[in-house]
Structures are given as structure tokens and as C-alpha cells.
A and B are shown apart, each in its own frame.
Chain A
């Protein structure tokens, strides 16, 4: 099987169809529904009480930690994809190398967990 850049051509049709559907729907829904405004109604919802302040406030740093760890581990996993595709040719040599790589990854992982990234109560 030899792959060529022109293999991607049909995606244009799908992208076009999806965009057309979305744009048409959006235009239709903006145009069809009623529009009634008042200063109270245009406020964001907050359990029926008057909304106070802004939602653009600092949030728990735990979420950012999770995001950074995701980026780290995802890059490591992407390294494994080419290895996995060529696994049968690499045989035992590749297997041993990947076990070493993965044990380093696992060590880092254990360090992160022990450090208390997932302790949400603190």
C-alpha cells in the first residue's frame, strides 16, 4: 500500500458538508427564535439570586497541574507510536529498550502521585 497526499482530498467534501450544516443551522436558529431583552434577564444564571462579580477569577492550581502532567505524559506516549508500529521488526531489542523507557516513565509517574497531585482535599 503506498500512501499519497492526495488520499486526503475527500476530506474537503466532509469538511464542506460539516461547515455548511453548522453555518446554516446557526443562521437559522438566530433568525427564527424570539428576542426579548431586559437587564435582569441578560445576566448570567446564578441560582436565581443576583449574579455577583465575574467568573474570570483564579481557579484551583490542581487543574493546571493535571493539564501540565497531561502534556508531559502525552508526549511520552507519542514517542511510543512509531515504536509500536515497527514492533515486530525490532523484536526483543526493541522490547527491552521500551521496557527501560517505560520504567523511567513509571518512576516519574510514581513520583508525581507520591507528591500528592491527586489529593484534592488539600
Chain B
């Protein structure tokens, strides 16, 4: 698509809006998290700043700005300042390829995709930027020259890179079904067919579970929040940080939560697709249908943000060796299996001329095969363990 100056201006306005929405959602996720926590623990939660405490994020922001900006004497000063900024920058750039809605008709024959950039590398952009975020934490913790920060930073780095492998493998299954890296195309292939029945979640149940577990680990959220494990590491990688530098680390975590919710919705839950969108488009026109789509994607993303919070107040934290074992010996082999099984579920129906639902049957039977394999594996290893104990 040729980019004209009008289209560029429209895109700039759109990107500005998405930027503001992302920041707003991230700020209000902190409020949401405290409300959800209070609700789950049967408490009241923040209720003093404004009605229902809705000005709490603003009060927090003002407080963060007014705090002393502390820099330890023997830290690497420039790295100490620059690397929280990198964390924030990477968090703010990931949302660029997420398609927030369908085409908007601007009049005069100009149509704009509600997506920052629609590029052919699509989902790889998210991966590239997210893996840069590891440096933000790693170097930030190292630069403070504090032993606790160092430990937290190293833990964060090795955790993030370990779970990135399984995440990359779970994406491959989606790419095999779609045949394109572009996030727009991934959403469009989920739109053909019977409403929400054509979403990828139906044919990728294993892939989705792997992806959401990895998303928790990449965002350093409970049960994978070992980098900031208070009982062992004080504050983890941000022990020495104060004021808005600490704010950047915490804020980028909330932005990442929102963006990963949007990415999960895009990959597995049809993105901006919603049931009866053809009816809405025929009745109210293209623009209204597209805007409802934006609402649908936001709803899905916010639901995932809620899931992040829900899990935080449900599951305890992993131990470090359990975490690494789950990542390496659990998720990576399972996601490899998922890639092979997805290949079968695509190829078997086309070779034997079976109807389209056959591929869904094959992919769900994959769960059965996986469970049987796990039971056999567990039986074999536990027998070995009892033999070893007996000797």
C-alpha cells in the first residue's frame, strides 16, 4: 500500500491515540490489579482518591515523580539511567504491529488499516522487540552494582530466554496454518467461516496453553516473578531504583501485560473479529463495524490482563529449578510435539479429501496422544526413581 501524506497524517493520529490508550490502560491496570486483589481477598482496596478511588493511579504517578531520584555512588551511572528507559521503550514499541481493527474509510477513497505498521515480518517484530527488553532488565540490574540486583537480573535474563524458545515454537504452529507472518493476515484467516468457530484456539489448544505460560514468564508475572522475589532478593533487579526509573520498570510490566493480551487475542482469539460482524457491517456500514472490532479486541486483551491478575492471587511462586525444569524439559518438547502434530492435522485432511472439521478432530486428538505419552514417560521415570531409591 502506497503511503500518501494524508494517510501518513491519519496514521500518526491513530498511533498517537493507541499510544495514549496503552499508557492509560497500563496506568489503570495498577488500579485494576489492586481492586482485583482486594476483591479476591475480601478487602475494600483503594477507595480514598476520588469516587471508588479512581484517581489512585494519578496520585501514584505524582508521588513517583516527586520522589528522590537515587543513584548509588559506585554504580555505572549512565547505564543505570539509560536501561530502565530501554525497558520502557521496548514495551511501548511492541504494539505497533498489533491490528487493533479493520479498515477505516476516511472518505475520498482513502482507507486506513487500524494498525500501526502492516509489515511482512509481522509477528517477528513483536519477538525482536520483546527480546531486546531482556537487556533492559539484565544491564539495569548489573549497573546498580548491588548483589541482589545482579542475582535478580541474571535470573530474569535466563528465565526470559528459556521461555522465549517455547514461545517461538508455539508460534510456528500458527504460522503453518496461516502461511504468513503478517498479523493482519493471521486475523483475516480466522475471519472466514463460522464466527468464533474459525478462531485459531479451536485448532491450537496446546499451542495456546504453551503461549500463555510463556507470556507469564516473559512479563515476569507470578508464578514466574522470581526476578523480583522479595523473600530472597529484596526487590530483585530494581532494588536500587527509585522515582520514575522504578516507575518505568513497573510500568513497562503492565504495558507488556496489555500488549501480550492483545497479541494472544490476535493469534488465538480472532483479533478484532467478533460474531455477526457481517451483519453489523451490512446494517451500520464499514466504519461502525471496524470500531466495534476495536472494542472487541480491547475486551479480549483486557480479559487477558484480568487473567494475569487472577493467576497472581491464585498460584504461589515457583522455585528456581522448578521454573527452569518446566521451561526446558516441559514446554520445549511439548511445543515440538505440537509443531509436528499441527503438520499432521493440516496434511491429513488435504491428502484424504476429508472435510474441514477433520483437522480440528486431529488437533484435539493430539491432546490425548500427549497425555498418553506423558503418562508412559512418567511411569518409566518414576519406576527408575523407586529402583534408585531401593538401592
Contacts and interface: CB of A to CB of B under 8 A. Distances in A.
Interface in B231-262: 234, 239-240, 243-245, 247-248
Interface size class on chain A is 35 or more
B332 A80 contact: no
B314 interface: no
Nearest to B344: A95
Interface residues of B, number: 84
Nearest to B235: A45
Given A45-B240, A66-B324, A85 B185 contact: no
Interface in A47-104: 47, 51, 54-56, 59, 63, 66-67, 70, 73-74, 77-78, 80-81, 84-88, 91-92, 95, 98-99, 102
B232 to A, nearest CB: 12
Nearest to A29: B244
Interface SS, A side:
helix
Interface SS, B side:
helix
Contact of A118 (B85, B157, B165, B328): B328
Interface string A12-50: 011101110110011011101111100100111111000
Nearest to B145: A55
Interface string B213-244: 00000000000000000000010000110011
B162 interface: yes
Interface of B: 1-3, 8, 11-12, 15-16, 19, 23, 64-69, 72-75, 81, 85, 88-89, 92-93, 96, 116-120, 124, 142, 144-150, 154, 157-158, 161-162, 164-165, 168-169, 172-173, 175-176, 179-182, 185, 234, 239-240, 243-245, 247-248, 320-321, 324-325, 328-329, 332-333, 336, 339-340, 343-344, 346-347, 350-351
